[in-house]
Amino acid sequence: MNAMRRAAILKMNAMRRAVSHLSSSELVARFQRACGLFPVAREKLNGHAGNHGEEERIRNGTARGQRKHHDEHESSYSTAKYEVRNWPLYFLFVVSATLGNEVFYISFLPFIHWNLDPFLCRRLVNIWAVVMYIGQVTKDVLKLPRPTAPPVVKLEVRVDAEYGLPSTHAMAATAISFTLLLSAPERVQFQFEVGLVLAVVLSGLVCLSRLYTGMHSALDVICGILISAVILGISYPHWNTLDSLQLNSPLSPVVALVLPLYLCYKYPELDHYSTTREDTTIIMGVAAGCSVGYWANQQLGLTFEPEGPFPVTLGPLTARTVTLCAARFCVGLVLLVLTRQTARWASLRLLCRNYGVALGDVEAHKRKEIEVPYKFSTYSAIGLVNSVVVCRAFMLLGLL
């Protein structure tokens, strides 16, 4: 019995050491140095003015992190200078990091809808919303810090005020890559092995980019991957059933709007402002608007999906095809930008008037009673236009 207890204690100690190692900032710093990203020593900075060769290689990277605790109300900022000694890896990981940002989502997901198959876009948006909500809430419940600088060099500023575990970049990259891989075979003919390699490479690059940019520990990234894998594993057998309910149930539009909005209002409260609630509300709003739009298309009998039998064979990539894709993307993007500006203008003015807040009071816009309905209404309008209006505009312009 004592031997069993000793073995259990040894295992627990080994697990604690492993967790401590994976969550350490020094491990992230070693990865950065192995990839050619180094902090610049103070004495090197002092002598930097007279060295023109070094001046071309050294860039300023500012990482400002805000942490407010329960017993104090102050901001702590850290700044770091960094030197890049491997430019190919620098550009590879910086570009890979953008694959988990808003710019990627608002371009890639609509592109799939407008140029490939709305079915695939619907699957991706649904999983993306679930994964991101769980990830963002987990961050603000656990409240585990990001890697510290020094020794880590931080290349991003905006999200440094957020907590670390899990990495939502890793979660989203894993979920989107493998949801597309698992959904595409029933719609499009392609070589599965090639798709698998692409899914692993793309999601892997995004995950490694979070270490390279100094925004997450190895533990944050690993937990993000595992959480997404569990969500995909649990939900995958039910995807077809959920599709049918989303498209055909008379309650679908009500649930699609009420449930995400309720979850946004119930988002965990923090003792300092963080962009996590704002970002989560944006994602949930887009998903809600898209869901209502897909249901409306189904009821109207015009879904803009490819005609079967499935899986369909993709046509050759000709100059005409590329031109049509580019034209659709440009027209669609213009409509989404116009929708965003219009909905943003109207919703913010109505809410500020209702709560007696000055339109230019940015701090007041961060209050939950303003931020949540403002962001949710704006981005649900974008989702609705994306799924309903844009393709009808393509029909009028002869782009389908």
What string of H, E and C letters represents the secondary structure of 39-71? Answer: ECCHHHHHCCCCCHHHHHHEEEEEECCCCCCCC
CA dist., res. 326 & res. 337, Å (int):
16
Q: Does 73 participate in catalysis according to the annotation?
A: no
Return the sign of the alpha-carbon dihedral for residues 358, 360, 365, 371. Answer: positive
Residue 209 near residue 96, CB atoms below 8 Å: yes
CA dist., res. 270 & res. 267, Å (int):
9
CA dist., res. 178 & res. 228, Å (int):
10
Structure tokens at 364: 């007041």
Q: Does 169 participate in catalysis according to the annotation?
A: yes
Structure tokens at 147: 């890697």
CA dist., res. 269 & res. 398, Å (int):
49
Q: Is 197 exposed, middle or buried (0-12, 13-18, 19+ CB in 10 A)?
A: exposed
The owner of tokens 């910086």 is 94
- According to DSSP, residue 188 is labeled B
The closest of 267, 282, 276 to 102, measured between CA atoms, is: 282
Q: 36 in the Ramachandran plot: left (φ > 0), alpha (ψ -120 to 50) or beta?
A: left
Structure tokens at 378: 């704006």
Structure tokens at 103: 């710019």
If you compute the radius of gyration of the chain from its CA atoms, what whole number of angstroms results? 23
CA dist., res. 357 & res. 351, Å (int):
8
Structure tokens at 192: 């599965």
Q: Which one is catalytic: 52, 73, 216, 272? A: 216
The owner of tokens 């649930």 is 255
Q: Is 160 exposed, middle or buried (0-12, 13-18, 19+ CB in 10 A)?
A: buried
Q: Which one is catalytic: 48, 70, 73, 169? A: 169
Structure tokens at 54: 């070094």
Residue 145 near residue 151, CB atoms below 8 Å: no
Residues taking part in catalysis: 169, 216
